[in-house]
Structure 1
Amino acid sequence: QPFLGPLITLDTTVSHFLHTLFKPILPTFLLLLLEYSADFRFSFPVSLSLFLASPSLSSRSTPFILGLLLDLAVIGLIKLIFRRTRPPYNPNMSPVVHADNFSFPSGHASRVLFSATLFHLILQNDDGFVSDFIKQWTKLEADFVLLGVWVWAIMTATSRVLLGRHFLFDVLAGVIIGVLEGIVAFLVFWF
């Protein structure tokens, strides 16, 4: 505890400072939009819909579905072990109904970094199907969409501290877990 105490104090202080500094400046609606977009109750049905949409999409969406389930289990287990309470300076939390009251690690951060990492790895190793699918449906180049996914992931992870939902170390842990889950999902579930 001699090492953890000062570290937790620093984390709490820096997180509160960032929340207080940016809360009056940033548009809350954008931060809440990011929060909704990364919620499991949104991301899982979207992945499942892609899986069910067509046989050609099902094998390519399987890593996302299984990875999201892996993320749910890993984050839930870690939260139950550590049971770190959420920041006290955000009593109303949000319109998004939270499944838990624990802060460490951030499930939103892990989910978005998982998604960005897996999408990145899939595009790097794609036979052209995913790139062609993106271009057909969005009229955008796959690299441009990939950049957008990374920007979304970083903004969403950052928003967790700025909204006062998590402490900085919660988000950093979620980021690390999400990247590792993305790598695992690609190596294990990508066909």
Structure 2
Amino acid sequence: MSSFDLDGRGVQRFNPIVRFDLAFSLFFLEHRYANQVSLLSRAISHSGDGHLYVAIALIVYMADPVLGGMFLSCGLVAFIFELPIYWLAKNSFRRRRPHNLSSRINNFIEPSDKYSMPSGHTAAATIMATLIYAFFPSLAVIAITWAALIALSRILLGVHFFSDIVAGVLLGLASAVAAMMIVGG
């Protein structure tokens, strides 16, 4: 994909998904409250950096070693699937981040790598939400809402497109389901 500015030049040459992704990002990032929204988005996004996943798994394990052990095992297996697939996809697609495709898109954080497809934060949050849904159904609404907010925060921070988020959800869901099938959760 070549670099371009979303000012009308050459946009029609790109497929509808790219046009939608750019329009979606601009809709959520081109408003006067973008800087304020980015502050909340950073906090939400940071909750998906991984430290909270470890804390959740340890708390669950300490509360109920049998159920917590299954939860922890499923989580580890899911991440064993997700991480190499995520890395291969990022380095195969090599899709540049939104701020690299349009000068009208600001990024409010500096991402850890230069490629955007799929969203690793979204994949990891989806794994956790899926496992929480499966093991603790009464917490499903909270877990799914939290994962959705992490995904949205990545768009609001200007580091992912909508389709990156969809790919992250699919990767996370597939990894969690495969892990539960293997571990027996």
TM range (shorter): 0.7 to 0.9
Q: Which residue type is aligned with residue 10 of structure 1?
A: F
Which position in structure 2 is the counterpart of 1:128? none
**1:46 and 2:65 matched:** no
Counterpart among 20, 24, 32 of residue 30 in structure 2? 20
The Cα RMSD (Å) is 2.9
1:20-169 pair list within 5 angstroms: 20-21=30-31, 23-24=33-34, 27-40=37-50, 42-43=51-52, 45-46=54-55, 49=58, 55-56=65-66, 57-88=68-99, 89-91=105-107, 93-94=109-110, 98=112, 100-123=113-136, 143=138, 145-169=139-163
Contact 1:23 1:163 in 2 (8 A): no
Q: CA deviation at 1:174?
A: 0.9
Instruction: Provide closer, same or farther for how the CA distance between residues 73 and 3 of structure 1 changes in structure 2, counting only shifts above 3 A.
Output: farther
Q: CA deviation at 1:166?
A: 0.3
Q: TM-score, normalised by structure 2?
A: 0.76
Query: Distance between the aligned counterparts of 1:93 and 1:122, measured in 2?
Result: 33
Q: State the SS of the aligned residue for 1:85.
A: coil
Contact 2:89 2:118 in 1 (8 A): yes
Q: CA deviation at 1:51?
A: 8.5
Contact 1:63 1:186 in 2 (8 A): yes
Q: How many aligned residue pairs are there?
A: 168
Instruction: Provide closer, same or farther for how the CA distance between residues 4 and 111 of structure 1 changes in structure 2, counting only shifts above 3 A.
Output: farther
**Unaligned stretches of 5+ residues in structure 1:** 125-142
Q: CA deviation at 1:118?
A: 2.0
- Give the % identical residues: 25
Which position in structure 2 is the counterpart of 1:187? 181
**Unaligned stretches of 5+ residues in structure 2:** 2-11, 100-104
Q: TM-score, normalised by structure 1?
A: 0.73
Q: Deviations over 1:114-158 (max 9, x none)?
A: 21112212236xxxxxxxxxxxxxxxxxx1x32111110111111
